[in-house]
Chain A
Amino acid sequence: MSALEPTKLDRPRIARDRSAADAKAAKSVTAKLRRAEFGDRLRSLMLAAPLLVLLALSFGIPIVLLLSRAVYDPTIADALPQTSQALRGWNGTGLPDDAAFLALAADLRDNQAKGTAYELAKSLNARLPGARSQVLKTVRQLEGAADKPPLEVMKGVPFWSAPGTWPAIESGTHSVTSFYLLSALDLRWNADGSIGKVPPEQAIFLQVFLRTFFVAAAVTLATLILGFPLAYLIASVPKGLAAILIVAVLLPFWTSILVRTAAWTVLLQKFGLVNDLLLWLDVADDRLDLMYSRIGLIIAMTHIQLPFTLLPIYSVMRTIPPSQMKAAYSLGAKPFTAFRRVYLPQVFPGVMAGSMLTFILCLGYYITPALIGGASDQLISNFIANYVNVELNWEMAAALSFILLVFTLALFGIFARILGLDRLKLV
């Protein structure tokens, strides 16, 4: 480009010739340039557009749709239109007036006629434990005694006059709901409008979240204890040896999680290699049940996550010149002091990156707990899958997904903020 710029010799001539017309021409050149740049920008947008559109359709919309199910559930409002209408004016305390009871009776009959009574019973049951059998019982009674006034039937079933029943129905008639998100944290709306804990016998999810965090923390710690010294060794040995050692880290890294989980199911069997080793070492007196146990799960996850923790640490250690430690020694520092005050502060970003990456990835584990964990070792992802596959409760699956995603994205936000997204690159 420099050859095209005016030389010193040209300058006087240019100054002399510059006239209003030239200024106008220059302006139009700028405009042309701007237009050309706009065209460039448009073209690069067009190049990126196919993938961006495809990702929006195949990934973006599904996630948004799923998350919306956590706060939008029109099933009860749709199934109980007359009850919803009748409850509009209710103040939420005590029992509603008889009109509400009659409306509910009429709605229940309509649902029975349409064949949707069972579905209604199920979705009411999700909010009001025990409602399933009561709805079906009431529907049968309403049908069986056609001559009996509906109000009498409704009042005859104590469930419909029990405290808590009508507030739950009322909250169900609102399509936009915080019920599932609160439930995912073992919380609920109290009758007086405050948020409180659900009764202990209904509380399940906090425990699952805590378990997920505990397993993630244990695995992170284990990978650090195993990985940090190995990263240090690989970073300090000569290049040729380091290349061989790094292959030992990359081979498992390149093997799929499923294959490694399969390998661990073989190893952790009662008559598997791990038990053989423990007996041979005289650590255990008898063969242990490692399959379907917490410790088996943590061992397998540690194996899978070790490269994720180790590689970011190694990539930082590689950049620290060994002369620094020697300088510290020659200035009289003891080995531990030199390590703590010279080496550790410099590798700290790598340690943070590796352990945060492992912790975040552990929060989303699904395959390994499903195959190696026992019933009490299932993590939050397994509950999400279970709500979809077994319970067919999309709202609860969506609410748990919502909370898991919030945790994951928040931790990634912190990661990107303090370490930068570039640290995500492995090797």
Chain B
Amino acid sequence: MLLSPYPTTGERIRITLLWLWCGLVILFLLVPILIPVPLSFNSGAFFIFPLEGISTRWYAVVLGTQRWQSAIGNSLIVAFGTTLIATTLGTLTAIALADEKFPGRRIVMPLLLSPLIVPVVITAVGSYLFYARVGLASTYAGIILAHTALASPFVVVTVGASLTGFDRNLMRAAAISGAKPVTSFFRVMLPLILPGVLSGAAFAFVTSFDEVVVVQFLASANQRTMPLEMFIGLREKLSPAITAAATLMMALSIVLLVVANLLARRSQRRPVAAA
């Protein structure tokens, strides 16, 4: 499509330059995120190519030492807690907002999205200030609560998108057939919007699992999560163990987000009210 059927020399030069430039930009995008992967399998203790040899010793450090193990455990506790709360409450809110009659929709939506807009340091410092007063600082509950605020907008948006393809007449039909609202939610609505809900859950999980600023302010020494351990490690001394941790985290978030996006796309492509 780029070249016209009878390209002039000038056009050929322009298109070649465009491809060259874009090739460099793609290298700039991909090389930095791929570089930790080979380095994490380096048997030496330095970050210099060529690699000294292939080994999994740095993975043994990340998966085998107590410090990293407890960090992984903490990350999973926080991320699962956040996912559970954010997905449940976010789905309910998305259902409520999908109703045009919902009062003040135009005000509620920006408010729901505001945790994504406010710079995260402000959220973290504010949470620290308030949670310390009510005894939630240095607790899992506090971290999960703060992460829920950051993660729930993603659930509301993805579930909301999957609800645009949901035919509300199905709920009316279920009610006429005698189903209670709760029954018709679980038997009719949920199965149809499930891809959207799961996609929102995956977004929520990744948001919490990758988050480091709020954790830095709210977590006590034995609640350090994997990203926080990485952040501290990067500040103190650069160890190849960090490249192994980075590779693991990158793999997890890419896999989850690929799944999330495929699910979201599937739930939106659903034919609207098959006639």
Query: Which A residues fall within an 8 A CB radius of B?
Result: 37, 40-41, 44-48, 50-52, 54-55, 57-59, 61-63, 65-66, 69, 226-227, 229-230, 232-233, 236-238, 245, 248-249, 251-252, 254-267, 269, 271-273, 276, 303, 306-307, 322, 326, 329, 335, 360, 363-364, 366-367, 370-371, 381, 384-385, 388, 394, 397, 401, 404-405, 408-409, 412, 416, 421, 424-425, 427
Contact = CB atoms under 8 A, between A and B. Distances in A.
Given A248-B26, A366-B213, A47 B96 contact: yes
B22 A404 contact: no
Given A50-B92, A263-B35, A66 B249 contact: no
A237 B6 CA distance: 17
B47 A381 contact: no
Contacts of B123: 59, 62-63
A236 B35 CA distance: 30
Contact of A50 (B22, B89, B131): B89
Contact of A62 (B108, B126, B246): B126
Nearest to A67: B126
Q: Which of A263, A303, A364, A424 has the most CB of B within 10 A?
A: A263
Interface string B243-263: 100100110011001100100
A370 B25 CA distance: 26
B274 interface: no
25 contacts: A45-B103, A48-B93, A48-B102, A58-B127, A63-B126, A66-B125, A238-B1, A245-B26, A251-B254, A256-B210, A256-B249, A256-B250, A262-B243, A262-B246, A263-B36, A263-B246, A266-B47, A267-B32, A306-B28, A360-B117, A364-B122, A401-B121, A405-B119, A405-B122, A408-B117
B221 interface: no
Main secondary structure of the interface of B (DSSP, over half): helix
Contact of B234 (A48, A62, A371): A371
User: 6 smallest A-B Cβ distances: which pairs?
Assistant: A364-B119, A62-B126, A256-B210, A66-B126, A47-B96, A51-B89
Given A255-B253, A262-B36, A371-B235, A408 B118 contact: yes
A269 B125 contact: no
B30 A248 contact: yes
Contacts of A55: 111-112, 115, 149, 152
Contacts of B235: 370-371
Contacts of B46: 271
Nearest to B181: A43
Contacts of A41: 101-103
A364 B81 CA distance: 27
A261 B124 CA distance: 20
A390 to B, nearest CB: 13
Contacts of B47: 266, 269, 271-272
Contacts of A252: 29-30, 32-33
B83 interface: no
A263 B33 contact: yes
Interface string B109-139: 1111111011111111111111100000000
B117 A303 contact: no
Interface stretch (B11-19, B55-63, B65-73, B187-195): B11-19
Given A51-B92, A230-B26, A262-B242, 20 more contacts: A50-B89, A51-B89, A54-B149, A55-B115, A65-B126, A66-B129, A229-B18, A230-B21, A255-B250, A261-B234, A262-B234, A263-B33, A266-B35, A266-B238, A266-B243, A271-B48, A273-B31, A303-B28, A366-B121, A425-B157
Nearest to A277: B31
Given A45-B102, A251-B33, A58 B146 contact: yes
B119 A408 contact: yes
Contacts, number: 251
Nearest to B157: A425
Contacts of B9: none
Contact of B148 (A58, A237, A272, A326): A58
B186 interface: no
B122 A48 contact: no
B118 A405 contact: yes
A326 B101 CA distance: 47
B90 interface: yes
Given A258-B231, A273-B35, A364 B130 contact: no
A404 to B, nearest CB: 6
B53 interface: no
Nearest to A405: B122
A424 to B, nearest CB: 8
A61 B25 CA distance: 43
Nearest to B242: A262
A381 B2 contact: no
A367 B117 contact: no
Contacts of A58: 127, 145-146, 148-149
Contacts of B206: 254, 256
